[in-house]
Amino acid sequence: TLERAIKKGAGLTGEAVHFEHVIYEGFAPHRVPVMVECLTDNVNRAASDMRVLFRKGQLGTSGSVAWDFDHVGIIEAEAEAATPGADAELAAIEAGAQDVEPGDEDGTMLFWTDPTDLDLVSRALPAQGFRVLSAKLGYRPKNPVDAASLSAEALEEVEAFLAALDDNEDVQNVFAGLQA
């Protein structure tokens, strides 16, 4: 019942809750490749939710999209106030990052690393004048679909699909092969 579900969610039933990490692959509308990382206590519910959400796109099998993504470390950082003109490319080279590009937020940079170098690079960036905001493992598309190649309507469909994925309670991260 509802009361039992609330107690279970709050951890008051004495039962251990077991979470599983699951990755779903598929295509958003207009053939945009997508990888979805989920952390769920009910794999069957998560799979069902993904099938419903991907109905607008296409849910693939394991490996159907993964080949088109690189597994990488992603570090979001910003220049320290004391070093406002810090050179991101030089910092990336010195810290051992593979690539650097402007982030989504104004003034932030994304440093891309090999997954095994994530910790090393995130520790080296402060010495280069950058404050690390977040560091995580993720996926970077090898051949992203250019957003400019989609009509405004098509882009809106893709963005609505990605937002619906992101709104799911089990979804932790969504990686789309879409380049702005």
Which residues have a Cβ under 8 Å from the Cβ of 16 and sit 6 or more positions away?
none
CATH of 2-67+142-179, one of 1.10.10.1100, 3.40.190.10, 3.30.70.980, 3.30.2140.20: 3.30.70.980
* pLDDT tens column, 51-74: 999 986 689 888 899 999 999 999
Q: What is the pTM of this model?
A: 0.82
* Mean pLDDT along residues 29-50: 94
Inter-residue contact 73 to 115 (CB < 8 Å): yes
CA distance 94 to 107: 20
| Burial 120-139, CB ≥16 within 10 A → b, else e | ebbebbeebbbebeebeebb
For 70-140, CATH gives 3.30.70.980
Range with top average pLDDT, 24-38, 57-71, 81-95: 24-38
Mean pLDDT of the chain: 89
Q: Where do you find CATH 3.30.70.980 in the chain?
A: 2-67+142-179, 70-140
3-state secondary structure of 113: strand
Inter-residue contact 21 to 134 (CB < 8 Å): no
